[in-house]
Amino acid sequence: MGQVAAIIGGGVIGGGWAARFALNGWAVRVFDPDPEASRKIGEVLENARRSLPGLGNVALPQEGVISFHPTVAEAVAGAAWVQESVPERLESKQKVYAEIMAHVGDETIVGSSTSGYKPSELQAGQPRAEQIVVTHPFNPVYLLPLVELVTTPINHDVLIARAKDILTTLGMFPLHLKHEIDAHVADRFLEAVWREALWLVKDGIATTEEIDNAIRYGFGLRWAQMGLFETYRIAGGEAGMRHFISQFGPALQWPWTKLMDVPELTDELIDMIAEQSDAQSGHYSIRELERIRDANLVSKIRGLYRTDWGAGAIQRKHDRVIETAAGLKRHVDELDDLSQPVLTAHRAVPLEWLDYNGHMTESRYLEAFADATDRFMLMIGCDEQYIAHGGSYFTAETHIRHIDEAHAGAIIIIRTQVLQGEGKKMHLFHEMREGTRLVATGEHFLLHVSLESRRSEPPAPHVEAALIKVAEAHAALPRPEGAGQSIGAKT
């Protein structure tokens, strides 16, 4: 992308922003007076490198360089985006903004990670205050897509649109809140749940672990994919939301919660919570917990990716943004050179693809090659619309050769050669490489079928014409090593 982002404040959130920008190709400049800032951000970046590239099915662009600067002025000079993530003290933030605004350009977007302050409070008394918005993320910033974009009437439409566009190209979902309120939207829900949890612990009803189990084994799983209202709409059955509210609405008058009251955080209550939390999770280091969290989040989001739902839909959209830069095409007519094998995959090996030996497991090679086949089918016109009208290709035979190892985070590229393409038949040979190193090959023979009769039949003329076009261009290529081989046991 070639743009510059400045991160002012390199704590947990600032470090997450730095990783999100850098891994999406931005140069990142950091200002943080903490002498440990470089180490801390380096550790956050290492976790992000381990998890984020495997979130999608397209490799991220080349990583941007993160640099550290001694002054705010030096960090923000020439930046297209400045993200402020300093501690939550309004006076301190306003001083930082005065320095930022004295050194940024007229087009720079200045976002704040604040979880509580309203944008009007940050804008007060600042020159060119219309460039300041709230962009409140969620930890880990490099994995979770939600960012609350909170604006005021002085933020003009062009800047807001540009902010949304930049956040979207980072793989995030900008939730635009046009009316400011303390703590925005999401944290108000979290605060309500947190208050109730404190009472449950204080009153001896449940321990910290029991409360966490109630969330992660129950409604937390539903909320992750559908949120609150869509979940309750289903709970209303065929009659929908109106029935749900009429049935359960009276319960709102019952004394089920203490949301309007907060237990006093006495030393006794703090010690109780801390001791329970230590018993629950103290055998893990913070970095271990972060890695477990990241692996779980990647697995959940990738699961939602398959159904094009929730956070998975955001990741799919992000893949579409970056696949063009990676050279992946959606139709053969877009290819400049058909005389060489076609690029059909450019992706990172996700954490979930590893086996007990610490490298990519057998079934995932087939998945990667199947995805490459799907990409090629798309390129010749066998897309979702075509399949919806009853035509597709079925795989009749597959042969995979496992030549070398692939590990988590490795960028693998698959190129596809058409060995035969005419009539009902499509014979593909995939080569998977990491850099120049050959990792595996996959040979696939497919037949075009009618999804109505489930029998083979010729494809539509435009699909066959595109397939023949590639097959004829590839006919001049040498036959790849391993093509047509059966399993051979070496002695």
Binding residue ranges: 9-14
**Residue whose C-alpha is closest to residue 62's, from 106, 93, 27, 31:** 27
Cα radius of gyration (the chain): 26
**How far is it, in rounded angstroms, from Cα 413 to Cα 59?**
9
For residue 125, give the 3-state DSSP assignment.
Answer: coil
Question: How many helices (H) and strands (E) in the chain?
Answer: 17, 13
Task: Tokens for 351, please give them.
Answer: 């954490």
Q: Where are the alpha helices (H) located in 380-488, listed in sequence order?
A: 384-388, 461-474
Sign for the pseudo-dihedral over CA of 406, 408, 410, 415:
positive
**How far is it, in rounded angstroms, from Cα 87 to Cα 29?**
19
**How far is it, in rounded angstroms, from Cα 108 to Cα 190?**
31
**How far is it, in rounded angstroms, from Cα 186 to Cα 179?**
14
Place of tokens 């931005």: 26
Question: Which strand ranges, in their side-by-side order, compose the sheet holding 342-348?
Answer: 342-348, 411-422, 425-434, 437-450, 391-402
Question: Which strand ranges, in their side-by-side order, compose the sheet holding 66-68?
Answer: 66-68, 27-31, 4-8, 81-84, 109-112, 132-137, 146-150, 173-177
* Beta-ladder partners of 247: none
For 192, residues 6+ apart whose C-beta sits below 8 A from its C-beta are 259
Per 3-state DSSP, the chain is made up of helix, strand and coil in percentages (nearest 5) of 45, 20, 35
**How far is it, in rounded angstroms, from Cα 468 to Cα 461?**
10
Task: Tokens for 330, please give them.
Answer: 């959606």
**How far is it, in rounded angstroms, from Cα 436 to Cα 432?**
10
Q: Where are the alpha helices (H) located in 52-129, listed in sequence order?
A: 72-76, 90-101, 119-123
**How far is it, in rounded angstroms, from Cα 334 to Cα 475?**
20
Neighbours of 240 (CB within 10 A): 13
Residues forming the annotated binding site for NAD(+)? 9-14
Length of the chain: 491
Query: CB–CB of 61/84 below 8 Å?
Result: no
